[in-house]
Every structure is written in structure tokens, then in C-alpha cells.
Amino acid sequence: MNNQEIRDFLQNAIDENRVMLFMKGTPDQPRCGFSMRTSAALNAMGVQYAAMDILPDPRIREELSELSGWPTIPQLFVDQKLVGGCDIVLEMYESGELAQALGVEQPEEEPQAPDAAAPESAPLGLENRLG
């Protein structure tokens, strides 16, 4: 795939999924603490979301950052709009803004790191066909 095809694939993922998380690793096996905390916040709210691992090809991260204008990973999109990275997502979680944006009830407990068991509301896995 060339860079434009990668960018088109990423844009399509954003357009087709109401809640789209680009992260290092997967929600079941995050590969960095920021990605782990972001997915844990979504899991704590029981929201269904799609997630994509950006690690298999460095061009994924490059094209995503070009597309979003945001340099860091993870990146959360809701309704085709960039929400932000880990710090912003966690601030919104704590204030209740994230639950409001997602149309769900605010959980009473703090977000916890995903455990080895699958979450009750399993995220949608996107097949990474960019390799």
C-alpha cells in the first residue's frame, strides 16, 4: 500500500466507526501505558468501540498524524472528530464530559487497566490489512 491508500484506510475507519481508537497494541494487549489507560476508560463505560494497532507499520502513525494534526498516540475519535490523546480522554472521563459525548452513564469507579479477561462490552477489532 502507498501512503495515500493508508490515509484513505484510516479515514474510512474513522468514518465507519462512531468511536474509533488508534493505539499502540490492542485493548486486550496494550503496548504502552497511555493506550492502556485510554482503552480502560472506554471499557469502564461499557461503550462499544473499534480499535486499531498503529505499531505494525510506521507509516500508519505518520499518516494518522497527518490526517488528524495530532502527533501522539493514542488518538480517540468520536463521531468522526478527534477528541484527543490519553490526558484529554482521562480529564474528560473524570469530569463526565466523555460519558456525555458518548451518550452513556458515568461509571462510579476510576478506570482500571484491562485485565486478561475479555471486557463485557468487547471492542470491535479492525483487521490490519496494511502490512
Look at residue 108 in the predicted model and tell me its pLDDT. Answer: 75
Look at residue 1 in the predicted model and tell me its pLDDT. Answer: 86
List the grid coordinates of 125.
477489532
Query: Which pLDDT tens digits describe the chain residue by residue (131 residues)?
Result: 899 999 999 999 999 999 999 999 999 999 999 999 999 999 999 999 999 999 999 999 999 999 999 999 999 999 999 999 999 999 999 999 999 999 998 877 665 544 444 444 444 455 554 44
Beta carbons of 47 and 36 less than 8 angstroms apart = no
Q: What is the set of domains in the chain, with CATH numbers?
A: 3-105 (3.40.30.10)
Alpha-carbon span 26 to 102, nearest angstrom? 20
Q: What is the DSSP string of 82-115?
A: EEESHHHHHHHHHHTHHHHHHTSPPPSSPP----
pTM: 0.82
